[in-house]
Amino acid sequence: MATAMSVSAVSPPAAAVTRPRTMVCVPATARAPREMAAELAAAAALGADVAELRLDCLAGFAPRRDLPVILAKPRPLPALVTYRPKWEGGEYEGDDESRFEALLLAMELGAEYVDVELKVADKFMKLISGRKPDNCKLIVSSHNYETTPSSEELANLVAQIQATGADIVKIATTATEIVDVAKMFQILVHCQVPIIGLVMNDRGFISRVLCPKYGGFLTFGSLKKGKESAPAQPTAADLINLYNIRQIGPDTKVFGIIGKPVGHSKSPILHNEAFRSVGFNAVYVPFLVDDLAKFLDTYSSPDFAGFSCTIPHKEAAVRCCDEVDPVARDIGAVNTIVRRPDGKLVGYNTDYVGAISAIEDGIKASESEPTDPDKSPLAGRLFVVIGAGGAGKALAYGAKEKGARVVIANRTFARAQELANLIGGPALTLADLENYHPEEGMILANTTAIGMHPNVNETPLSKQALRSYAVVFDAVYTPKETRLLREAAECGATVVSGLEMFIRQAMGQFEHFTGMPVDDYKFRAIASSLDNPNTMKPRL
């Protein structure tokens, strides 16, 4: 491809197996020396391997006064000392000579690593000639805050950094699309010297989690949310506990959720813990994808073994798969993609079973009289679906299969009409839906993102209109109780949370991903942590 090499060529070589374990480095960005020393201790408590001491963040920094405080021994962690100038994304605005003297002093005080920028590396090397302690490693770094250059340009950059005499190469670039990260993975795999290679911002997030697979020297994780030293930096706790980074290696299979947006998803929490619970060597990450076809073509290695697919890619996924399960083809939407050993992509839809069974069970639980076990509680009911995208198609298909009379409502009437024609029912606009009340006992299912975090005050239908419904389901599960569900409950309706659909469709995905039968009890026990992921026990 012109934009990025395919990761099909990036299967970690045997040499990568012998590389040291990728370290987790926590940036310390406090404004005062004693606070920075405390952050170093806090990083150690999280299970980090090294702390980056960002001297440029210190207010009124005086090297000979402050460095002995920050680097006092015994230290709970090795120290990586960085004094980043403004022209390379830092806060320091002074001259290089003063900065270099501070870095040299840090070396003399026992800092294990010192970072200096490529632009001034030769100048710094001349200054420290013969004065660098043997136990201190020099990192020479290059940061690109706009783009990710081609693989060839990155390879040339590595050679240029090596030529300075660096012990460790560091390159940080910026992703304009997620396929940019493939270029960095290529560099990590083939580099013959220790290398830190990261791609910044949300589209580059996977570089921070998957770097152990490709032999990266270290990755950065913040002390906590709000303490990031670079765009889209995860917390160290998430790297260690959520993504299980200590266990990621060359043979680790990669799964993840493809979407836009994708940061709100709780799928990584659920699937990573489920993988861990059965000893499955895999990691599940968020993929922020703009172009699905380009993404799947780029990350074509067998190690990229499966994907969950969410808004807005479920319909495009049908066209991108080599084979599509008949039910998913009938629905016209794929939410699960599995790469077979022969490289073929197979698409499935687990949304419709997850959602419809959740709604059926919600209705049964609300009824005082036992119902006919052979008849769906949806049979004969008027079932209104809001949304005509992939999830809307799945709900409409599932409800019709159960004998419901399906109505499609959508903000864009043409889209509603298109799906309604396929299902064999009427179409409405959302404005029409406000006064739609042909009968009692109707069921409403919202499949749009309206009301999803952070837009929690939005709702697809007014409270007044909700009085016409006996049952209301919302596919949105962040938050668990949306405004739609809250107001529906206040109107006396039976409400069904999207979290239940999420759990059930994820069970189907787990079976497709692993080839293992799902343990319903264990899976639900894992899912119980979703409302409070901080309850997950640290694994250090």
In three-state secondary structure terms, 393 is helix
Residue 204 tokens, joined: 């580059």
Phi, psi of 81 (to 5 degrees): -95, 125
Spatial distance between the Cα atoms of 430 and 435, rounded to a whole number of angstroms: 10
Note if 372 is an active site residue: no
Alpha-carbon torsion (255, 258, 263, 269), positive or negative? negative
* Catalytically annotated residue among 132, 170, 271, 402: 170
Angle subtended by helix axes 267-277 and 520-527, to nearest 10: 140
* Catalytically annotated residue among 132, 227, 314, 393: 314
Spatial distance between the Cα atoms of 132 and 111, rounded to a whole number of angstroms: 11
Alpha-carbon torsion (123, 126, 129, 131), positive or negative? negative
Q: Which amino acid does the sequence have at 6?
A: S
Residues contacting residue 423 through CB under 8 Å, at least 6 positions apart: 396, 397, 400, 406, 408
Q: Are 4 and 179 in contact (CB under 8 A)?
A: yes
- From the CB of residue 14, how many other CB atoms can be counted at a distance below 10 Å? 7
* Catalytically annotated residue among 143, 213, 253, 260: 143
Q: Is 207 left (phi over 0), alpha (psi -120 to 50) or beta?
A: alpha
* Catalytically annotated residue among 351, 393, 402, 474: 351
8-state DSSP, 451:
T
Note if 531 is an active site residue: no
Alpha-carbon torsion (146, 148, 153, 156), positive or negative? positive
Note if 271 is an active site residue: no
Q: Provide, for the chain, the percentages of residues in helix, strand and coil under a 3-state DSSP scheme, each rounded to the nearest 5.
A: 40, 20, 40
- From the CB of residue 76, how many other CB atoms can be counted at a distance below 10 Å? 13
Note if 344 is an active site residue: no
From 456, 478, 483, 485, select the one nearest 530 (Cα to Cα).
478
The strand pair at 304-309 and 336-339 is best described as antiparallel
Residues contacting residue 116 through CB under 8 Å, at least 6 positions apart: 100, 103, 124, 138, 139, 140, 141
Sheet holding 282-288, edge to edge: 282-288, 253-259, 304-309, 336-339, 345-348, 323-324
Phi, psi of 397 (to 5 degrees): -60, -50
Q: Are 485 and 296 in contact (CB under 8 A)?
A: no
In three-state secondary structure terms, 406 is strand
Only one residue has tokens 């049979």, namely 379
The CA-based dihedral angle spanning residues 442, 446, 450, 454, taken in that order and rounded to the nearest 10 degrees: 110
Only one residue has tokens 């837009």, namely 455
Spatial distance between the Cα atoms of 329 and 431, rounded to a whole number of angstroms: 30
Q: Are 151 and 175 in contact (CB under 8 A)?
A: no
- CA 330 to chain CA centroid, Å, is 30
Active site residues: 143, 170, 314, 351
